[in-house]
A and B are shown apart, each in its own frame.
Chain A
Amino acid sequence: MATLKLTDIRKSYGNAYVIKGVDLEIEDGEFTVFVGPSGCGKSTLLRMISGLEDITAGTLEIDGQRVNDLPPKERGIAMVFQSYAIFPHMTVRENVAFGLTIAGASKAEKEEKVAEAARVLQMEHLLDRRPSQLSGGQRQRVAIGRAIVRKPKVFLFDEPLSNLDAALRMDMRMEIGKLHKHLNATMVYVTHDQVEAMTLADKIVVLKDGKVMQVGTPMELFHEPANRFVAGFLGAPSMNFLEVSVDARDGREARVSNAALEPLAVAHKGRIDGQPHAVLGIRPQHVSATEPGRGLLHGTVNLSERLGTETVVDMTLKDGTKFIAAFDEDRIFEPGEAIDLEFDPARAHLFAADDDPAAPH
């Protein structure tokens, strides 16, 4: 059990900075997920916490102790890799006990701890098999077993489910969630999959180009995205963005409109100081269809996908922008059909037109 504190952590390869100053605090027992597109530096950041990568600048503290220069084994961490990294020539039992073997633990101690880990992960029947006889999910279970026998302070997961097929991924996701509840351990989890992030995390850290975009609970990030990137990254299908002109503005709200959008007032949260243009973000799920001529948004249907529980409509607005709408009902739309949408302005988000938080300050 441990807390983790990152202060202005940086990483560069020569002149190329891949982590550009990350500040983050992780509480004891918290499940933190690093999420972001490929190349955003989330895996690098995790590997810096593990000690597999050097920290160029900044301070990393585990339980209040600076660990920048400690080798991985002295940091009290365990790591689960995307490619499982279990040793092919060892049985499951030997793999799970590996850390204990390295530390020179007695046979009895190994037996006991392996048995406990196997019970927690429900893989007692696999102990004498070799990795080649296991499925992907079972292999990842072995890797997790190897991590938990040592009772580390912090668990690190580097995209542990990315090599599994969709059905298995969901099972394992739930297992990892249960494991976290059971062990109540501090866990840091890297993924590019927003569903994993949303379902598992106590705290999500959204990264882009080596910088933190936003930190918060899944619902905070979903409902109150701090910028366009976070807004567009979380949620599927992703949020629609409309370029709008700002017609009027007071201390709380701004009145915006464009060729396809009826004028309306949206809370601006201080993001659009005196700029004539802004970007309005609307989630596909937050609109509903209405009679032509009566809604806030006007457009025509290009294509609709009926999924049974919902209908996803790809449409073009009157000003030529693409818009995706998701209605939670099964309904038929014909291509070319004119369609009007209405939505609650309170659920729309207003961002500055030049909102690019990853740009250098």
Chain B
Amino acid sequence: MSSKLTRSNRAGWLFALPGFSLLFLFIIVPFFFAFWLSLTNQRLVSPNPTEFVGLKNYADLLSVSVLTLEPERDEAGEIRRDDDGAIAYPRVRSITRSDEFPQYRGMREWFRWHWGDKAKVVIASDVVFMKALVNTLTFALFIVPLQGGGALLLALLINQKLRGINAFRTIYFMPVVISIVVISLLWRFIYSGNEGLLNNILEALTFGAFTPVDWLGSTDTALGSIIAMSAWQAVGFHMVIWLAGLQTISPTLYEAAAIEGASKWQTFRYVTWPGLRNTAVLVLIVITMQSFAVFAQIDVMTNGGPLDSTQTLVFQTVERGYGKQDISGGATISVILFLMVLMISAVQAFLTRERN
């Protein structure tokens, strides 16, 4: 009876069907749906019929231009300055709202820099998206080394036969088990500007010399605070992966290195690190993908603020798709995110490939 079940092709498919259909319905269909929706003007609820708009959504998100502003001059041809001596420039909206430049219509200033007397202004059709993009890349750029490196350090520390080492393993792994929403709430208290734990500790350590900071309320510190907390939260997960990698390295290799007189650092460099190659590739790619999907921390802690300084791509996707009911806009961002992650993972896989 059992042999017939395990050998029958039809039985196999039948068993796979529930899982497969759920995956199909909730992962594969939405994946292709997103591609289609990003080419339409679909809204969550709308009385109007959906129209095919081609790549308009992509253009609306990605259009970026650079304007060069000449300084304003008075009748004598002298550069006009304000009371502080700063050069006065024409306002950007005199261009973006002008009928002379239909190509810049609707765009807004993203950032600017000065080039001699001139000002170069980067304008984007969707400044919030651009900020989200930069924030997400910054987030990933810091999280990957912080989390990967920190996790490796912890793994090396707990990969020892010491009394009570399991207690440390448990403690380091605990934040992974706790819901990110709960953790984000707790860290909101830690980061609080008034009586936050972090401010209190820093004040105590500096004997009151430290001026309390509203960590999540300031554009300078908000993203950094979220990066630090996120790196800490998932470090235990990657620690376990590193640990698994460490334990695949044959103890005899360490003995051989000891016999040859390798120092601790040389042992790490010549035995441990090469032995962790495959683990490193895995950790690198997993952290990169996870950091591009950062959402819950933002949603709970800052809502993208202050002044869009913690906007991220996934947060924007949700914000647009459901907050603003702009499903096609959200789908477009998720497609762009997908392509970015795909590209970065491919580059990482290429750079870390096995060379012979």
CA distance in complex: A54, B20 (Å): 57
On whether A85 and B256 interact (CB within 8 A), knowing A102-B266, A130-B356, the answer reads yes
B112 at the interface (CB under 8 A from A): no
Q: Is B270 an interface residue (CB 8 A)?
A: yes
> Does B252 count as interface, using CB distance less than 8 angstroms?
yes
- Picked from B259, B266, B270, B356, the residue with its CB within 8 Å of the CB of A72 is B259
Q: Which residue of A lies closest to B262 (CB)?
A: A102
Q: Is B290 an interface residue (CB 8 A)?
A: no
Given A89-B274, A89-B277, A98-B270, check contact A79 B259 (CB 8 Å). Answer: yes
Check: B341 CB closer than 8 A to any chain A CB: no
Which residues, 32 to 78 on A, are CB-close (under 8 Å) to B?
50-52, 71-74, 77-78
The answer to whether residues A73 and B274 also contact, given A52-B255, A85-B255 and a CB cut-off of 8 A, is no
On whether the beta carbons of A85 and B250 are closer than 8 Å, the reply is yes
Given contacts A85-B255, A102-B266, 6 further A-B contacts (CB under 8 A): A52-B259, A72-B261, A74-B261, A87-B274, A90-B270, A102-B257
Bound Cα distance from A8 to B205, whole angstroms:
57
Contact A73 B252 (CB under 8 A): no
With A87-B270, A87-B271, A98-B270 in contact, is A81–B262 under 8 Å at CB? no
A76-99 interface bits toward B, Cβ cutoff 8 Å, 1 = contact, 0 = none: 011101010111111000000011
Q: Of A52, A86, A89, A103, which contacts B258 at CB under 8 A?
A: A52
B259 touches A50 (CB 8 A): yes
Q: How far is the CA of A86 from the CA of B250 in the complex (A)?
A: 10
A146 within 8 A of partner (CB):
yes
Q: Mark each residue of chain A from 226 to 258: 1 if its CB lies under 8 Å from any CB of chain B, else 0.
A: 000000000000000000000000000000000
CB contact between B261 and one of A85, A102, A130 (< 8 Å): that residue: A102
Q: Are A79 and B266 in contact (CB under 8 A)?
A: no
- The answer on a CB contact under 8 Å between B259 and A83 is no
For the complex, give the distance between the alpha carbons of A74 and B258 in Å.
11
Q: State in angstroms the CA–CA spacing of A101 and B255 once bound together.
A: 17
Give the residue of A73, A86, A90, A101 whose beta carbon is less than 8 angstroms from that of B259. Answer: A73
Quote the shortest CB–CB distance from B273 to chain A (angstroms). 9
For the complex, is B253 an interface residue (Cβ under 8 Å from A)?
yes
Nearest chain-A residue to B273 (Cβ)? A89
Residues of chain B lying within 8 A (CB to CB) of residue A101: 270
Q: How far is the CB of A40 from chain B (nearest CB, A)?
A: 21
Q: Is the CB of A99 within 8 A of B250?
A: no
Per the bound structure, the CA–CA distance linking A71 and B250 in Å amounts to 21
Give Cα A103–Cα B275 distance, bound, in whole angstroms: 21
B99 interface contact, C-beta 8 A? no
Closest 9 CB pairs of A and B: A73-B261, A85-B256, A89-B274, A85-B252, A99-B260, A79-B259, A72-B259, A102-B262, A83-B252
Q: Are A77 and B250 in contact (CB under 8 A)?
A: no
Q: Which residues of B lie under 8 Å from residue A77 when comparing CB positions?
A: 259
Q: How far is the CA of A350 from the CA of B229 in the complex (A)?
A: 79
- Across chains A and B, the number of contacting residue pairs, with CB separation under 8 Å, is 62
**Bound-complex Cα distance A101 to B261 (A):** 10
Q: List 21 A-B contacts (CB under 8 A).
A: A52-B258, A71-B261, A72-B259, A73-B258, A73-B259, A79-B256, A79-B259, A85-B253, A87-B274, A88-B275, A89-B274, A89-B275, A90-B270, A98-B257, A98-B260, A99-B260, A99-B261, A102-B260, A102-B263, A102-B266, A146-B260
In the bound assembly, the distance between CA atoms of A98 and B258 in angstroms comes to 11
With both beta carbons as reference points, the residue of chain A lying nearest to B356 in the complex is identified as A130
A331 to B286: give the CA distance in the assembly, Å: 72
Contacting residues, chain A, for B262 (C-beta < 8 A): 102
Give the chain B neighbours of A83 by CB distance below 8 A.
250, 252
Docked CA distance A241–B41 (Å): 97
A86–B259 CA distance with the chains assembled, in angstroms: 12
Shortest Cβ distance from residue B337 to the other chain A in the assembled complex, whole angstroms: 35
Contacting residues of chain B (209-257) with chain A, CB-CB under 8 angstroms: 250, 252-253, 255-257
Q: Give the residues in chain B near A50, CB-CB below 8 Å.
A: 259
| B260 proximity list for chain A (CB < 8 A) | 73, 98-99, 102, 146, 150
The answer on a CB contact under 8 Å between A103 and B256 is no
Contacts of A81 in B (CB 8 A): 252, 255-256
Give the residue name and chain of the B residue nearest to A103 (CB): B261
Give every chain A residue within 8 A of B255 (Cβ-Cβ): 52, 79, 81, 85
Distance from A114 Cβ to chain B, minimum over Cβ atoms (Å): 14
Residue numbers in B under 8 Å from A73 (CB-CB) = 258-261
Once bound together, how far apart are the Cα atoms of A90 and B270, in whole Å?
A: 9
CB distance from A195 to the nearest CB of B (A): 25
Bound-state Cα–Cα, A357 to B356, Å: 56
Closest A residue to B249 by beta carbon equals A88
* B250, B259, B260, B266 interface centre (most CB from chain A within 10 Å): B259
Interface set, chain B 30-80, CB cutoff 8 A to A = none
Chain B nearest CB from A20 CB (Å) reads: 24
Report chain B residues within 8 Å CB of A89. Answer: 274-275, 277
Q: List the B side residues contacting A102 at CB < 8 Å.
A: 257, 260-263, 266, 270
A71 vs B257: C-alpha distance in the bound complex, in angstroms? 12
Contact code string B269-301 (vs A, CB < 8 Å = 1, else 0): 011001101000000000000000000000000
**How far does the Cβ of B111 sit from chain A's closest Cβ, in whole Å?**
45
- B270: min CB distance to chain A, Å: 7
Shortest distance in angstroms between A76's beta carbon and chain B's nearest beta carbon? 10
Give Cα A78 to B270, complex, Å. Answer: 18
Minimum CB distance partner of B252 in chain A? A85
A85 to B261, alpha carbons, bound, how many Å?
A: 15
Interfacial chain B residues near A52, Cβ < 8 Å: 255, 258-259
- Cβ-defined contact, B258 with A71, below 8 A: yes
Min CB distance B265 to A, Å, is 11
Which A residues are in CB contact (< 8 Å) with B256? 79, 81, 85-87, 146
CA distance A154 to B275 in the complex (A): 29
Least Cβ–Cβ distance between A43 and chain B, in angstroms: 12
Closest-CB distance, A96 to chain B (whole angstroms): 11
